Structure 1
């Protein structure tokens, strides 16, 4: 599986530049070379206190823009988690949707002693083809002299976040951990902003990295020592004058934006896990913010042809608008349905798992002919399930695992011949 990681502090700006470069599309020669997953971590997405409710209900402009671009290459947004200006989103190719399990989310506030979410972390954990993966995006305490606060932030996040999935209750217990974000680590004292800029211009990055605070706390074991990072070969990513690639020397240039990972390699008898890092770059092209985005690509080992807890929908006949419609499905032997499992109606070609048009609870909407022990179930959908002609799909969601256990083939919804829906009636139909 190939994973493409992005971290970008957008400094409250909107996505006004082309996103193809950010997503690596300029490097892809054909769809088969595209990543299987995109993990996008954003910081300082515009957020205002009066918009907290709206922010919780609707995606931000960056996530919407990324979803639109990725949808053209058949990616689906699996999950987004937001803590004020800190956002993490996971996208995957449509073909992988049925192989994701046990999706959970968490967040940790670290601003103002944990009382405010202007700083902190957002996390998505899940299983991909049987391997557990934890994805963390954080925005830690700023400023050169507050190194110990950043150390405290990291340890607070590690200790405060816990998950329901067995054997992976802690971030670091997962098979794979990817930690991205604006970590805000600066350079140790001794060099002025001008001296740092001069060393960057000379290409003496190794000398600067020797003073990197993140390397220091990893070496001392104070923070991030459980993770590894390929040394950056790109210049410091902060701080730039807006709309330029020129350093703003009011701050000492630093590598604030980082991507680290961890592999628990020997947890399975028949598979040695491995994460091969293919690249680690900053993108100088983007000038909206005072940060440069940082991207990295990884290939991870997972179980091939892994199937678990599957639902198979029986072929669906044509549905009729403004009528009750039915669907049948078969539970695999390892599925334990709950009263809160649900089946959503989606337009064919949906771009997010949140785009359902209607849903019914799988057990409570079950046809009376079902028996408790039967593995074949049928469910009835209300007349309001679909309102316009088109192509649709059904997705079965497990309440316990937060994931898609089954997806139907596309089916057609039409008006029954000789009828029309209220929404299609016009004055010529006799309505005034």
Structure 2
């Protein structure tokens, strides 16, 4: 017994040292259904040829003979603190992911506490097995009922031409959902999924992890961030778990965590060639075109616990939100989240519940004396924020899963994405040899295009665009 205790005393500082000083190269590794996509993007970059090339930002240059068009997609974003509860094998996520609607193109899912935040989980190697299990359940739910959108229709109620994507064998590719990026840091898991026919337009995925927990650097609190390009628009998604605590002054720790995440999160810079056009490579979170930040932000309501519970029972959301700490940080000049946006909250606080119950923690029906001493007043801890033009929120609500002491919060967005409209494809088609013989035909110079030729032209144009 004494020998084991002595060995533990020796290993403890070693575990801390390994966690603090381990090489950061592995922090940029992530899981995806098609890892080649990450490497393929590197082929588009060359060294700039100057000694300070790695410190320079690539500049977005217009491609020759190109105009931009705007495409619209529907994006589903959700956050869920699962409280360290391992998902049961028969857990059905269809209701949470709203798969019956079947009209979303992108899913951004952030989890917190996928593993219990014990010392061995925080200081030891990341436990990715449970995170992979969550990904398997997400895959099963998304691909169980993902009907193909009808031609000529997209999300948002606006018509848009849809061209089927063909695989290498010439057959139509199924519209299943694929994981673009999945990254876990201790209990924080961020996973992004897109329709299978969109994956070829996703480029340069990258991840960044920032720990703000024990000693200000361990991963029990902090953020996992993901960025990539969808066509010509850059996206950044941030999944946070900020400092907890409902005592007066605890919000200052949350503000400090958020400021550290925005300051320390960075993505690899890429070199660009002066001879070949390239998209810019944003380095920080706020450099991206579209940014969504979600997670267990842990902000509370600055009212006495008894009054908070009374207002929750009355559904007096206005009075509660007037005293919500995060709303103050969003709306006030100099606030930590000033410049960010959040949709109108019309749902009950999402924390803290008894597991497998609709009763808040410490309530008279299920509460105990120990519960009341812990002072867990109801609060909207789980939130979704966004910033950037081209994002319009169309939904903001919660899901009624009883798996943990939090309720999942979900949001839907109509997203505008820039895409190149290459004029060379049409010009090369009409100047091709197939029109040379027809140029000798009608004297007025008007070419007759048969129906089958028109179909071929449309197919070729779709491939070039």
Equivalent residue of 1:303, what SS? Answer: strand
How far the C-alpha of 1:49 sits from its partner, in A, is 6.0
Q: 1:203 to 1:167 in 2, by over 3 A?
A: same
- The correspondence of residues 91-110 of structure 1 with structure 2, limited to 5 A, is 91-110=193-212
Which residue is 2:251 aligned to?
Answer: 147
How far the C-alpha of 1:164 sits from its partner, in A, is 2.8
- The correspondence of residues 25-424 of structure 1 with structure 2, limited to 5 A, is 25-26=99-100, 28=101, 31=102, 34-46=103-115, 52-53=124-125, 55-56=127-128, 59-72=131-144, 73=146, 74-145=176-247, 146-165=250-269, 166-188=280-302, 190-192=303-305, 194-218=306-330, 219-249=332-362, 250=372, 251-263=376-388, 265=389, 274-284=390-400, 286-304=401-419
d(CA) in 2 for partners of 1:256 and 1:213? Answer: 10
Checking the alignment, whether the CA contact within 8 Å between 1:130 and 1:306 is kept in structure 2 is no
How far the C-alpha of 1:234 sits from its partner, in A, is 0.6
Which residue is 2:449 aligned to?
Answer: none
Which residue is 1:11 aligned to?
Answer: 83
Q: 1:306 to 1:183 in 2, by over 3 A?
A: farther
Q: 1:58 to 1:237 in 2, by over 3 A?
A: closer
Checking the alignment, whether the CA contact within 8 Å between 1:197 and 1:247 is kept in structure 2 is no
Unaligned runs of 5+ in 2: 1-72, 147-175, 270-279, 363-371, 423-465
Higher strand share: 1
Q: Which one is further off, 152-161 or 71-80?
A: 71-80
d(CA) in 2 for partners of 1:56 and 1:246? Answer: 32
Equivalent residue of 1:172, what SS? Answer: helix
Equivalent residue of 1:243, what SS? Answer: coil
Q: 1:94 to 1:142 in 2, by over 3 A?
A: same
d(CA) in 1 for partners of 2:127 and 2:416? Answer: 36
How far the C-alpha of 1:79 sits from its partner, in A, is 1.0
d(CA) in 1 for partners of 2:421 and 2:405? Answer: 43
RMSD, matched Cα: 1.9
TM-score (norm: length of structure 1): 0.64
d(CA) in 2 for partners of 1:182 and 1:50? Answer: 22
How far the C-alpha of 1:56 sits from its partner, in A, is 4.6
Higher helix share: 2
How far the C-alpha of 1:137 sits from its partner, in A, is 0.2
Larger Rg: 1 or 2?
Answer: 2
How far the C-alpha of 1:220 sits from its partner, in A, is 4.2
Equivalent residue of 2:266, what SS? Answer: coil
Equivalent residue of 2:215, what SS? Answer: coil
**Equivalent residue pairs, number:** 290
How far the C-alpha of 1:288 sits from its partner, in A, is 1.1
How far the C-alpha of 1:59 sits from its partner, in A, is 3.9
Higher RCO (C-alpha under 8 Å, 6+ residues apart): 2
Equivalent residue of 2:286, what SS? Answer: helix
